[in-house]
Amino acid sequence: MAEDNKKEEGVEAEKKDQAVPTATETESKPGGAVAPAGPVADGEYNPKAVKTAQAIFVPVTASYKEKGSFHDYVDAIRLDFKKDYGKTKIVNWSVLAIVLLLSVGTVVAAFLSSSDSGNTWGNYVIWPLFALAIVGFVVYLIISSSLKKKNYKSIAVYLDRWAESQAAVAYLDEDGITSAQYSCDGKVRDIDVINTHYWARINAIDSRNRVVTKFLGRELTDTEISVSVPPYSEFVKDLADVKVVEEPQEKAEPAALEAAEPVKEETKKAKAKPKAIRAQDVGAFGKILTYDLKASEGNVLIVVRKVSDSYLPTHVKALVSLPALARELGPDFVVYASSLEFAEAVLSAKGVKEELQGLVDNTVLFDWFFAFNSHGSYFVFNYSDDIMVLPVYVTPASDKLMEYATDVKHALAVFKSLADNKIGA
């Protein structure tokens, strides 16, 4: 009974969570485009109408511990799925083989009968074989349809177990986390993606595997997302006009804007092991964390840890670029803010700089950004298939599987530091 109540609460919470943005959250643009309200309100997004399954949220449990470790659990559920999926394929191919055998038998009988003009035995063989082939084909279609539905159900169960185990490892043992719930059908609120104020234009937002919880009493969400955007090259000319705030002695000109185009330099790690180049219209493919901690009106900060093919921020018209502050974080950072003073205030909060530096790019986490503005606090992590794709043929190594949970810990530490230091409300 208690679990049913929790499910109902989760559904009601998500109904509110999925509410259409109100006029106070967005402003309309010609042609149906939507722009986020606030100090940087020139972004565009044309949402598509998509009919999706109703998200039913249930509590996250630590069922993965039944196998001793997260890796062993993922390996076990992968093998369970692969075994069931393999059985359906065997049945499917076996029935198809019988149908093909009957069809070939019919053709062979017809050929032999036609070559033996003195006998009519073929008539007694061809038509029964042909009839059996037709019946077999109908049976194959019925069985194939049934097995396809069974496979869809198996995939749904596997995805559910995978999503819950990821959420459990990332959140259940964290101090300050309460009432963690998840749904594979849960979708990110479009307004949350828009309000990161990272992309000047958004073409499409897709999402799944949503977690809703409370962290230190504030709403926290975590959702898998894919964000489609125009190619970065469309914005380079506009970005060249962004004001650059350097150290007083350097006084760099706008033409020297460090983030005016995607970083071209190669790190030693990139040279040693080059990564696959992402499509130019992929703005994000990974996880988005949203936290209900808001900066005062007009204050904006975007911190990016970039790699060679990162999609850098384009929604920066009213911001300034801070290359000197970015270099203090590391050679692969980009920082935009409403002002140098606000950026320094955030990054000087206890532990924030160290936690951001701890989020390093590797074989699993490609790159990431942190956004903090009057709408909330956001982390977007772009991941490889080790995190984003259901493992079928092989289970990723333990350190790869644990990367997402490790990154969440860094993000929670940043949120906690900002809240503790009363930077935001």
User: pTM of the entire structure?
Assistant: 0.75
Out of 39-43, 96-100, 186-190, 292-296, which region has the weakest mean confidence (pLDDT)?
A: 39-43
What pLDDT score was predicted for residue 50?
56
With cut-offs at 50, 70 and 90, classify the pLDDT of residue 258: very low
CB crowding 324-338: b at 16 or more within 10 Å, else e: bbbeebeebbbbbbb
What pLDDT score was predicted for residue 116?
60
What would the pLDDT profile of 89-139 be if each residue is shown by its tens digit? 777 777 778 878 778 777 777 776 666 655 566 666 777 777 777 887 887
Is pLDDT above 80 for 365?
Answer: yes
**Neighbour count for residue 2 (Cβ, 10 Å):** 7
Which value, to the nearest 10 degrees, does the dihedral of the CA atoms of residues 309, 243, 345, 424 take?
-80
Mean pLDDT across 69-93:
83
What would the pLDDT profile of 261-290 be if each residue is shown by its tens digit? 444 444 444 444 444 567 788 999 999 999
Parallel, antiparallel or unpaired: strands 218-228 and 204-215:
antiparallel
Listed in sequence order, the residues at least 6 apart from 423 whose beta carbon sits closer than 8 Å to its beta carbon are 295, 345, 346, 349
Exposure of 198 in the CB half-sphere (CA atoms within 13 A): 28
What pLDDT score was predicted for residue 216?
95
What would the pLDDT profile of 168-211 be if each residue is shown by its tens digit? 999 998 999 999 999 999 999 999 999 999 999 999 999 999 99
With cut-offs at 50, 70 and 90, classify the pLDDT of residue 355: very high
If you average pLDDT over every residue of the chain, what do you get? 80
In 216-294, where do the E strands start and end? 218-228, 243-244, 282-291
> Which percentage of the chain shows pLDDT scores above 70?
76
3-state class (DSSP) for residue 244: strand
With cut-offs at 50, 70 and 90, classify the pLDDT of residue 251: very low
Higher pLDDT, 255 or 79: 79
Out of 26-35, 163-172, 186-195, 304-313, which region has the weakest mean confidence (pLDDT)?
A: 26-35
With cut-offs at 50, 70 and 90, classify the pLDDT of residue 41: very low
φ, ψ of residue 70 in degrees (nearest 5)? -60, -45
What pLDDT score was predicted for residue 131?
79
Out of 4-13, 234-243, 347-356, 407-416, which region has the weakest mean confidence (pLDDT)?
A: 4-13
3-state class (DSSP) for residue 405: helix
Higher pLDDT, 236 or 405: 405
CA distance 393 to 395: 7
In 98-244, where do the E strands start and end? 177-183, 201-202, 204-215, 218-228, 243-244
CA distance 126 to 102: 10
Q: Quick one: tokens of 369?
A: 């950004």
> Which percentage of the chain shows pLDDT scores above 90?
49
What pLDDT score was predicted for residue 247?
58
